């Protein structure tokens, strides 16, 4: 039980990939999962790359079974796999909405259920759920993304109350804009999820401009990997981990002053709309 073991989902890119490298450098045994397993760095001693599709029950079972067979225990599960199924709430297909929840929420739920019996037997474990500032703040076109992250946070808090008695803690990291594929995927989805002759075209153009600008101020994925590490290892963990001052500020306003936050979003949208029309 000496070697510390972490399982990280969505480790083929962005924050998950940086976290896998960071934990490995710090001497942990890392079980790193993603669909594009070939993108996960191979390191015979420290990183085990495993194929994982968190929307698939068999794949989740195979992932956890492999870890427990090879390592015999698991200290930390980082539920990081996720993406933004952006687009008008009215027009995104139910199939895509369900897939958004399967990936960002139910995948995390299933993997957590699979590791908890082992963590209880060990009397130790940490579940680190990668939410988003978007678990509290919101913007147009992100309805289902924000809903998955808000769900993840509520679920994590309930779980934490239930499992703390076994020495297990469940916590959330809430990244803000971070360099990765996330922004490109969300922007692409905003457009492809629109129906033909959509009444939402002007809104999609405006929000795309805003999202693009927001993502330009992104921090490095490796900075967030450090936050993941803190959330995984701090002796007395917080329930929420936020990185940049601006992220903490926005989340605070959204939580404490919902009407002011809504007004701020409307003002920001007007600003991007004006910028778009003056181009
Ligand atoms: N970047 C941001 O600005 C930002 C801000 C707040 C929160 N977040 C959250 O942070 C987490 C990491 O995102 P990122 O920014 O690092 O984005 P990214 O570069 O797009 O990485 C996402 C990772 O999730 C994996 N993934 C997606 N669907 C999966 C599935 N069905 N099964 C297994 N893995 C899957 C991808 O791997 P494969 O495609 O190879 O499977 C990839 O490794 C996400 O939960 C995201 O919502 C991101």
Does the structure show a pLDDT above 70 at 24?
yes
H helices within 90-172, ranges in order?
A: 94-101, 107-122, 143-163
10 lines ligand 1 (CB under 6 A): yes
Mean pLDDT along residues 158-174: 98
Which atom from ligand 1 is nearest to the alpha carbon of 12? Answer: 43
3-state secondary structure of 129: strand
User: What's this model's pTM, rounded to 2 decimal places?
Assistant: 0.97
Phi, psi of 43 (to 5 degrees): -145, 105
Is-catalytic flag, 145?
A: yes
Give the pLDDT score at 277: 78
pLDDT band per the 50, 70, 90 thresholds, residue 42: confident
The model's pLDDT over 218-277, given as tens digits with 9 standing for 90+, comes to 999 999 999 999 999 999 999 999 999 999 999 999 999 999 999 999 999 999 888 877
Region class of 27: left (phi > 0), else alpha (psi between -120 and 50), else beta:
left
100 lines ligand 1 (CB under 6 A): no
55 lines ligand 1 (CB under 6 A): yes
Give the pLDDT score at 211: 87
Give the pLDDT score at 278: 75
Q: Ligand 1 centre and the CA of 62: distance in Å?
A: 20
Is-catalytic flag, 271?
A: no
Give the pLDDT score at 1: 58
Q: Ligand 1 centre and the CA of 183: distance in Å?
A: 10
Kindly report each contact of residues 96-104 with a partner whose C-beta sits within 8 Å and lies 24 or more positions away, as own/partner: 96/193, 97/144, 99/55, 100/144, 100/145, 100/148, 101/144, 101/147, 101/148, 101/151, 102/54, 102/55, 103/54, 103/55, 103/148, 104/145, 104/148, 104/149, 104/152
CATH of the domain at 227: 3.40.50.720
For the chain, the domain total comes to 1
Q: Ligand 1 centre and the CA of 122: distance in Å?
A: 29
210 lines ligand 1 (CB under 6 A): no
The model's pLDDT over 120-132, given as tens digits with 9 standing for 90+, comes to 999 999 999 999 9
Residue 248 domain boundaries: 5-277
Is-catalytic flag, 149?
A: yes
The model's pLDDT over 71-114, given as tens digits with 9 standing for 90+, comes to 999 999 999 999 999 999 999 999 999 999 999 999 999 999 99
Tokens found for residue 148: 């998955």
SS3 of 22-40: the string is HHHHCCCEEEEEECCHHHC
Q: Ligand 1 centre and the CA of 17: distance in Å?
A: 10
Tokens found for residue 156: 């994590």
């Amino acid at each position: 039980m000496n070697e510390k073991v972490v399982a990280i989902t969505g480790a083929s890119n962005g924050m998950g990939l940086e976290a896998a490298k960071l934990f490995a450098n710090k001497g942990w045994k890392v079980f790193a999962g993603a669909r594009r397993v070939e993108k996960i760095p191979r390191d015979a001693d420290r990183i085990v790359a495993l194929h994982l599709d968190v929307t698939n029950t068999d794949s989740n079972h195979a992932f956890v079974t492999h870890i427990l067979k090879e390592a015999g225990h698991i200290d930390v599960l980082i539920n990081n796999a996720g993406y933004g199924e952006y687009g008008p709430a009215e027009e995104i297909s139910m199939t895509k909405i369900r897939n958004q929840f399967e990936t960002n929420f139910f995948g995390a739920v299933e993997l957590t259920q699979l590791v908890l019996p082992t963590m209880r037997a060990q009397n130790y474990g940490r579940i680190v759920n990668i939410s988003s500032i978007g678990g509290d703040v919101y913007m147009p076109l992100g309805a289902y993304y924000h809903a998955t992250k808000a769900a993840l946070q509520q679920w994590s808090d309930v779980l934490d109350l239930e499992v703390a008695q076994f020495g297990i803690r469940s916590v959330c990291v809430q990244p803000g804009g971070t360099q990765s594929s996330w922004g490109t995927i969300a922007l692409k989805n905003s457009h492809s999820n629109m129906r033909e002759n959509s009444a939402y075209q002007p809104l999609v153009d405006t929000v795309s401009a805003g999202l693009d600008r927001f993502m330009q101020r992104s921090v490095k994925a490796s900075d967030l990997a450090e936050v993941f590490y803190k959330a995984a290892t701090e002796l007395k963990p917080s329930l929420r981990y936020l990185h940049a001052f601006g992220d903490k500020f926005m989340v605070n306003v959204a939580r404490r002053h919902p009407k002011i936050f809504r007004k701020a979003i409307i003002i920001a949208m007007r600003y991007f709309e004006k910028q778009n029309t003056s181009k």
